[in-house]
Amino acid sequence: MNKKMLQFINLDQNTPEKRSTGERKKDFHEIYKDFINEKAQEQSSRCSQCGVPFCQIHCPLQNNIPDWLKLTAEGRLQEAYELSQSTNNMPEVCGRICPQDRLCEGNCVIEQSGHGTVTIGSIEKYITDTAWEKNWVKPIKIKKELNKSIGIIGAGPAGLACAEELRKFGYQVTIYDRYDRPGGLLIYGIPNFKLEKFVVERRTNLLKQGGIKFIQNFEVGKDKNLHELKKDHDAILIATGVYKTREIEIEGNNLKNIFPAMDFLTASNRKGLGDKVELFDNGTLNVEGKDVVVIGGGDTAMDCVRTATRQKAKSVKCLYRRDKENMPGSAREVANAIEEGVEFIWLSGPKKFIGNKKVEQVQVNKMILGSADSSGRRKPEIQKNSEYNIKADIVIKSLGFDPEDLTELFSAKELSVSKWGTIKIDLNTMETNIDGIFAAGDIVRGASLVVWAIKDGRDAALQIQKYLKEKIAEKNNIKAA
Ligand SMILES: Cc1cc2nc3c(=O)[nH]c(=O)nc-3n(C[C@H](O)[C@H](O)[C@H](O)COP(=O)(O)OP(=O)(O)OC[C@H]3O[C@@H](n4cnc5c(N)ncnc54)[C@H](O)[C@@H]3O)c2cc1C
Ligand code: SF4
């Protein structure tokens, strides 16, 4: 565990050695809980203002980190906030959930020289949380209403960032979303212990106050198709994310109590928001007292295991077919999970699910890492005669997500998609092959990160503005001629 983690997690219970064996913490001291002004100033003043801002270069939003650290160190928090929010629509969200160890903090020169990174993410969070507390965060005020309208499909970070930027220009913006609440995966995917729901709700409320219209429970493809929606607007942004769960085709997959990760996480998030959730309330998706097996090694798998420990599961095991060094998830998340008592079974893949109607055991193959595949990663191979069984009352499958078939869903056969089903765009204009229809976020990149979705949303807004201006100019020329 790196020095930064040690600063933020209360380590009053077990030694690191004990924790790595999977011994359970009795309660959870959430990360960042005690981050106070003195700490923010002290941490900010550790920035060496090195001249080559590797942190900034490796932040997808190119946040001006050295300057807002300097302002924070000098106690000029409102100025730090103004600077931070000028490049990021949700700094308090990124501060909480960016994998900083792979982005800004991982590239901090102080970290590189072995002295522990400046805790950029927690300072970013602190600055913006303080701005909310002090009422410095204001709804959008526009100078002039413009009579062009944009329809945005998807109220996740890409759609929200694009909507905010377009509204600032004065455009009429409507966001359509098939869920009952805006926020996309910020609301129903990412667990509350990483990103509290009030943080997302106060952002979306602010956008509503700024004049952005939200239409919830509206599914494009069901309530209107893409072309019908296009008739209502001058431009459209598709920001629908990726939601098709990757399946695991093994014997016993049809047994009860085997669920995709999103079913488990959405149920847990809905409960946290106070909703009635039948499958949770009847005990099916509530893992208290159960032996839980999570399959997968990405960040979503880490969210599942950490949610399960918080629901007081009897045991939580994470099966991953490669080793720790080759896990796709953030090292920090793995460290957190170990800290919380999750048992990792590396180099292991499920062979079949065993049970009578309901799953009772998972048969596991031990794996070894063979030669590198075309992506350069060593391929896991099954070790012969290595099977053994582990007990499971519930299995959660977390093998990643693919895009839904939008051409079918949206009744837009001509919409150009890649072989993976992501939407193809012109990388300069962010426009799809259909005039006036743009796309951003996970539906273009494949499953990615919030900070990239925000960046794409902001870029799309600039391109949509350019497109609308050109359209107006074209019309005026035709009229003049
Ligand atoms: C469990 C989980 C944990 C994650 N944790 C992190 C993390 O810690 N840090 C991080 O940076 N990233 C994390 N991510 C990734 C991150 O959440 C995504 O990259 C990001 O949310 C993508 O933003 P988006 O706006 O493209 O899509 P989404 O957030 O998926 O939003 C898409 C929206 O479109 C709506 N929609 C879809 N289809 C339709 C339709 N037909 N009609 C109307 N509306 C529609 C959906 O309801 C949804 O609200 C996590 C992802 C998951 C699944
Ligand atoms: S947005 Fe993410 S990568 Fe950029 S400074 Fe903030 S935490 Fe770091």
The vertex-358 CA angle with 357 and 359, nearest 5°, equals 125
Give the pLDDT confidence score for residue 95 in this predicted structure: 97
CA of 426 to the centre of ligand 1 (A): 22
Q: Ligand 2: does its nearest atom lie under 6 Å from the Cβ of 56?
A: no
Residue with CA closest to ligand 2 atom 1 = 94
Q: What is the pLDDT along the chain (481 residues), one digit of tens a residue?
A: 333 333 333 222 222 333 333 455 555 555 445 566 788 888 898 988 888 899 999 999 999 999 999 999 999 999 999 999 999 999 999 999 999 989 999 999 888 888 888 899 999 999 999 999 999 999 999 999 999 999 999 999 999 999 999 999 999 999 999 999 999 999 999 999 999 999 999 999 999 999 999 999 999 999 999 999 999 999 999 999 999 999 999 999 999 999 999 999 999 999 999 999 999 999 999 999 999 999 999 999 999 999 999 999 999 999 999 999 888 878 888 999 999 999 999 999 999 999 999 999 999 999 999 888 877 788 899 999 999 999 999 999 999 999 999 999 999 999 999 999 999 999 999 999 999 999 999 999 999 999 999 999 999 999 999 999 998 788 777 766 6
Q: Ligand 2: does its nearest atom lie under 6 Å from the Cβ of 97?
A: no
Q: Which ligand 2 atom lies nearest to the CA of residue 61?
A: 4
Q: Which of 104, 128, 454 to mutate to test the pocket of ligand 2 (most atoms within 8 A of CB)?
A: 104
Give the pLDDT confidence score for residue 1 in this predicted structure: 32
Cβ(239)–Cβ(158) below 8 Å? yes
Query: In angstroms, rounded to a whole number, what is the distance separating the alpha carbons of residues 140 and 403?
Result: 32
Give the pLDDT confidence score for residue 27 in this predicted structure: 58
For residue 299, the ligand closest to its alpha carbon is: 1
CA of 262 to the centre of ligand 1 (A): 11
Query: In angstroms, rounded to a whole number, what is the distance separating the alpha carbons of residues 327 and 165?
Result: 36
Longest Cα–Cα distance of the chain, Å, equals 80
Q: Ligand 1: does its nearest atom lie under 6 Å from the Cβ of 303?
A: yes
Give the pLDDT confidence score for residue 24 in this predicted structure: 55
Q: Which of 85, 123, 451 to mutate to test the pocket of ligand 2 (most atoms within 8 A of CB)?
A: 451
Q: Ligand 2: does its nearest atom lie under 6 Å from the Cβ of 65?
A: yes
Q: Which of 164, 229, 240 to mutate to test the pocket of ligand 1 (most atoms within 8 A of CB)?
A: 240
For helices 120-133 and 65-73, give the axis angle rounded to 10 degrees. 60
Cβ(373)–Cβ(379) below 8 Å? yes
Q: Ligand 1: does its nearest atom lie under 6 Å from the Cβ of 457?
A: no
Predicted TM-score (pTM) above 0.95: no
**Strands annotated E in 284-428:** 291-295, 315-319, 343-345, 348-356, 358-372, 378-382, 388-391, 394-397, 401-402
Q: Ligand 1: does its nearest atom lie under 6 Å from the Cβ of 299?
A: yes
Residue with CA closest to ligand 2 atom 8 = 104
Q: What are phi and psi of 172, to 5 degrees?
A: -90, 120
* Residue type at 415 in one-letter notation: L
CA of 116 to the centre of ligand 2 (A): 17
Per-residue tokens: 206? 């602010």
Of 416, 411, 423, 415, give the one whose Cα is nearest residue 221.
Answer: 411
For residue 97, the ligand closest to its alpha carbon is: 1
Query: In angstroms, rounded to a whole number, what is the distance separating the alpha carbons of residues 140 and 252?
Result: 53
The vertex-402 CA angle with 397 and 407, nearest 5°, equals 140
Q: Which ligand 1 atom lies nearest to the CA of residue 154?
A: 34
Q: Ligand 2: does its nearest atom lie under 6 Å from the Cβ of 350?
A: no
Q: Which ligand 1 atom lies nearest to the CA of residue 410?
A: 41
Q: Name the burial class of residue 114, with classes exposed (0-12), middle (13-18) and buried (19+) by CB atoms within 10 angstroms of its CB.
A: exposed
Q: Ligand 1: does its nearest atom lie under 6 Å from the Cβ of 241?
A: yes
